[in-house]
Chain A
């Protein structure tokens, strides 16, 4: 399985647009991690592996609820945008 910057950015865009739920994004990231553990996940270009992996991991567990208010998640869209900006990606 090949993953590149465009694929990951599209997932983030879908989350911010509300077309992809946090729970689905969490499963998407989990599946990619499974592929990586099996050694079948390829990053394109290979130099972006570190950055792409961070973007993927940030989505894993994005739906973990807050302990005080289970209706909230520990991260929300504001956190996603801030995180993307820290990586030089502006989707706002």
Chain B
């Protein structure tokens, strides 16, 4: 390579940014929109503009190549040595040639060369460490409250829903041969098949009510008249105690026995 006719120029830069997601599109109605804004996978960091130009040939270098620029010293030393050794150029002490001003290597007023990239490298790594640290901290602060706020998509929620669905299907199979219905308070009632009483046209059936919010169940038998009105209820207390609650054909409570 011919270093003596070299023209150095450098360009250096990087950019970063956070790409916010549309509010509510992925976090659900109750999600935390800020979670997406500081999400690490969406964190973009670019240093594609990092590189040097050397004799017109752009050298797209990654950072390791840029960090090791000791090889630059030698050609610059050669250049300066050449001009100092009486090549005709005005390179007296303190005077900096234009082509050296543009390069990555310059000399201070004492005439000593220094590497201006040195400061850039330090600044670069400091920025990297700072940005990554900020991203991690931001992620922590954004994620923890978001988990507390989210109600629709957390793993625990899904697991809970899966368990409830399983319980619902189980009870529908075991106790819902006569059908089931959902109450306004969110509970489920499963009806066993009604069977006619022996001596009259009344029928009776078992009913199970399940509260999916606390998992509690309660069972009772109800006797229905031919019109479908409940005229007797016997709750299951689980203790062997059997109390019968009587109602008339219009649902008015008559008493127990």
Contact = CB atoms under 8 A, between A and B. Distances in A.
Contacts of B244: 65
A36 interface: yes
Contacts of A47: none
Given A64-B221, A66-B200, A70-B257, A75 B195 contact: yes
A61 B198 contact: no
B221 A68 contact: no
Given A75-B197, A75-B198, 8 more contacts: A23-B242, A61-B204, A64-B221, A66-B202, A67-B231, A67-B246, A69-B199, A73-B198
Nearest to A65: B244
A30 B244 CA distance: 17
A24 to B, nearest CB: 10
Interface residues of B, number: 23
A64 B234 contact: yes
A30 to B, nearest CB: 7
Contact of B221 (A61, A69, A76): A61
Contacts, number: 55
A37 B216 CA distance: 11
Nearest to A76: B198
B1 to A, nearest CB: 79
B236 interface: yes
A29 to B, nearest CB: 10
A68 B198 CA distance: 11
29 contacts: A23-B242, A27-B240, A30-B236, A34-B238, A36-B174, A53-B174, A57-B192, A60-B206, A61-B204, A61-B206, A61-B221, A63-B242, A64-B232, A64-B234, A65-B244, A66-B198, A67-B223, A67-B231, A68-B199, A68-B200, A72-B198, A73-B198, A74-B195, A74-B202, A74-B204, A75-B195, A76-B198, A79-B195, A79-B198
Interface of A: 23, 27, 30, 33-34, 36-37, 53, 57, 60-61, 63-70, 72-76, 78-79
Interface string B209-246: 00000000100010100000001101010101010101
Contacts of B192: 57
A78 B199 CA distance: 12
A65 B236 CA distance: 14
A55 to B, nearest CB: 13
Contacts of A30: 236, 238
Given A67-B223, A67-B246, A79-B198, A57 B206 contact: yes
Contacts of A75: 195, 197-198
A35 B223 CA distance: 26
A66 B257 CA distance: 12
A87 B192 CA distance: 18
Contacts of A70: 257
Interface in B17-51: none
Contact of A37 (B217, B240, B242): B217
Nearest to A63: B242
